Structure 1
Amino acid sequence: MKRIIYLALAAITLITACKKSLDLEPLSQISPNNSFNSENELRLYVTSFYDKMLPNADNEDKAFTSLYTESSDNIVLNGLDKKITGNRVVPVAAGGWNWADLRNVNYFLQNYQRGGVSPAISVKYAAVAKFFRAYFYANMVAAYGDVPWYSKPIETTDNAALTKSRDSRTLVMDSVLNDIDFAIANLPTAQTFTEVNKWTALALKSRLCLFEGTFRKYHTEFNLPDADRFLQASADAAEQLIDKGPYSVYTSSPDKAYTDLFHALTVNPAEIILARQYSTNLQINHNVNYYTVSPSFGKPGLEKKLVNSYLMKDGSRFTDKPGYAALGFLEETKDRDPRLAQTIRTPGYKRVDGTSVLAPSYSGTVTGYQLTKFVTSAVNDANSKSPNPLPVFRYAEVLLNFAEAKAELGTLTQGDLDKSIKKLRDRVNMPGMNLALANSNPDPYLAGQYTHVNSANKGVILELRRERRIELVMEGFRWNDLMRWKEGHLLTEQFKGAYFPGAGNYDLDGDGKIDLVIYTGNQPAVPDAQFLKLDVDISLENGSSGGNIVVNPNTPKTFREERDYLFPLPSQDLLLNPNLKQNPNW
Structure 2
Amino acid sequence: MKIKHILSIAALALGLYACSDDYLDKEPLSEITAENFFNTEADLKLYTNSFYRMFPSTSIYDGDAITDNIIQNELSEEMRGARLVPTSGGGWDWAYLRDINFFLQEYEKSEEENAKAHYGGVARFFRAYFYFDKLQRFGAIPWYGEPIDPKDSETLTKPRDSRQFVVDKILEDLDWAIANMRAEQNVYEITKYTALALKSRVGLYEGTFEKYRGIEGYGKYLNASVAASEELINDSPYKLYSSGSPDDDYRNLFNSHDAIADEIILSRAYSETLNIGHNVNYYTTTSSYGRPGMPKDLVDSYLNADGSRFTDQANFDQIFFTEEVADRDPRLFQTIRTPGYTRKGEAIERAPNLGATVTGYQIIKYVTEPVYDTNGQSITDLPLLRFGETLLNHAEAKAELGTLTQEDLDKSINLLRARVDMPGLILDAANSDPDSFIADQYVGVVGANKGVILEIRRERRIELYMENFRWDDIVRWKAGETLTQPIRGLYFSGPGEYDLTGDGEINVVLYEGERPDNVITGIQYYQLESDTFLDNQGLITPHPDYENRTFDENKDYLYPIPRVELQLNPNLEQNPGWQ
TM-score range, shorter chain: over 0.9
- Please tell me whether residue 92 in structure 1 is matched to residue 91 in structure 2: no
1:215 to 184, 191, 209: 209
Distance 1:428 1:248 in 2: 15
1:491 to 478, 483, 490: 483
Distance 1:213 1:484 in 2: 8
Q: Deviations over 1:220-248 (max 9, x none)?
A: 3xxx3311110111011101100011001
Distance 1:349 1:107 in 2: 52
Q: Cα distance, 1:15 vs. partner?
A: 4.8
Counterpart residue type for residue 216 of structure 1? E
Distance 1:168 1:259 in 2: 42
What secondary structure sits across from 1:129 in the alignment?
A: helix
Q: Cα distance, 1:7 vs. partner?
A: 5.3
Distance 1:17 1:482 in 2: 40
Distance 1:68 1:361 in 2: 24
Distance 2:64 2:448 in 1: 35
Distance 1:196 1:455 in 2: 39
Distance 2:167 2:370 in 1: 45
Q: Cα distance, 1:18 vs. partner?
A: 4.2
Q: Which residue of 2 aligns with 1:266?
A: 258
Q: Cα distance, 1:155 vs. partner?
A: 2.9
Normalising by structure 2, we get a TM-score of 0.95
Q: Deviations over 1:325-351 (max 9, x none)?
A: 110111100000000000000001011
User: 1:59-138 alignment to 2 at 5 Å?
Assistant: 66=61, 70-114=65-109, 116-138=110-132
Distance 2:116 2:375 in 1: 42
- Please tell me whether residue 336 in structure 1 is matched to residue 328 in structure 2: yes
1:14 to 12, 35, 52: 12
1:82–1:445 Cα change, 3 Å? same
Counterpart residue type for residue 539 of structure 2? N
Q: Which residue of 2 aligns with 1:392?
A: 384
Distance 1:458 1:479 in 2: 21
4+ aligned runs moved over 3 Å, structure 1: 3-11, 15-20, 25-30, 65-69
1:19–1:84 Cα change, 3 Å? closer
Q: Which residue of 2 aligns with 1:54?
A: 55
Counterpart residue type for residue 9 of structure 2? A
Counterpart residue type for residue 13 of structure 1? A
What secondary structure sits across from 2:497 in the alignment?
A: strand
Q: Which residue of 1 aligns with 2:22?
A: none
1:288 to 280, 285, 297: 280
Distance 1:187 1:84 in 2: 40
1:131–1:254 Cα change, 3 Å? same
What secondary structure sits across from 2:555 in the alignment?
A: coil
1:288–1:7 Cα change, 3 Å? farther
Distance 1:389 1:451 in 2: 36
Percentage of identical aligned residues: 50
Any conservation in 2 of the 1:67–1:390 contact (CA below 8 Å)?
Answer: no
1:242 to 233, 242, 263: 233
Q: Which residue of 2 aligns with 1:62?
A: none
What secondary structure sits across from 2:385 in the alignment?
A: strand
1:66–1:159 Cα change, 3 Å? farther
Q: Deviations over 1:336-392 (max 9, x none)?
A: 000000000000101101111110001110000000010000111111111111110
Q: Cα distance, 1:121 vs. partner?
A: 2.5
Any conservation in 2 of the 1:403–1:420 contact (CA below 8 Å)?
Answer: yes
Q: Which residue of 1 aligns with 2:220?
A: 229
Any conservation in 2 of the 1:6–1:194 contact (CA below 8 Å)?
Answer: no
- Please tell me whether residue 408 in structure 1 is matched to residue 389 in structure 2: no
Q: Which residue of 2 aligns with 1:321?
A: 313
Q: Which residue of 1 aligns with 2:574?
A: 582
Distance 2:533 2:15 in 1: 56
Q: Deviations over 1:418-443 (max 9, x none)?
A: 00111111111100111010001000
Distance 2:85 2:488 in 1: 30
Counterpart residue type for residue 282 of structure 1? L
Q: Deviations over 1:73-100 (max 9, x none)?
A: 0100010111111110111012111111
Counterpart residue type for residue 54 of structure 1? F
What secondary structure sits across from 1:33 in the alignment?
A: coil
Q: Which residue of 1 aligns with 2:540?
A: 549
User: 1:144-543 alignment to 2 at 5 Å?
Assistant: 144-220=138-214, 224-252=215-243, 253-524=245-516, 525-527=518-520, 528-542=522-536
Any conservation in 2 of the 1:330–1:508 contact (CA below 8 Å)?
Answer: yes
- Please tell me whether residue 570 in structure 1 is matched to residue 568 in structure 2: no
- Name structure 1 gaps, 5 residues minimum: 59-64
Distance 1:225 1:197 in 2: 33
Distance 1:554 1:16 in 2: 47
Counterpart residue type for residue 227 of structure 2? D
Distance 2:264 2:384 in 1: 8
Counterpart residue type for residue 470 of structure 1? I
Q: Cα distance, 1:526 vs. partner?
A: 4.3
Distance 2:163 2:63 in 1: 29
Normalising by structure 1, we get a TM-score of 0.94
Q: Deviations over 1:196-219 (max 9, x none)?
A: 111111100000110000000002
What secondary structure sits across from 1:267 in the alignment?
A: coil
What secondary structure sits across from 1:497 in the alignment?
A: coil
Distance 2:94 2:152 in 1: 15
What secondary structure sits across from 1:301 in the alignment?
A: coil
Q: Deviations over 1:491-545 (max 9, x none)?
A: 1122111111111110011111110001001112242210110010011112xxx
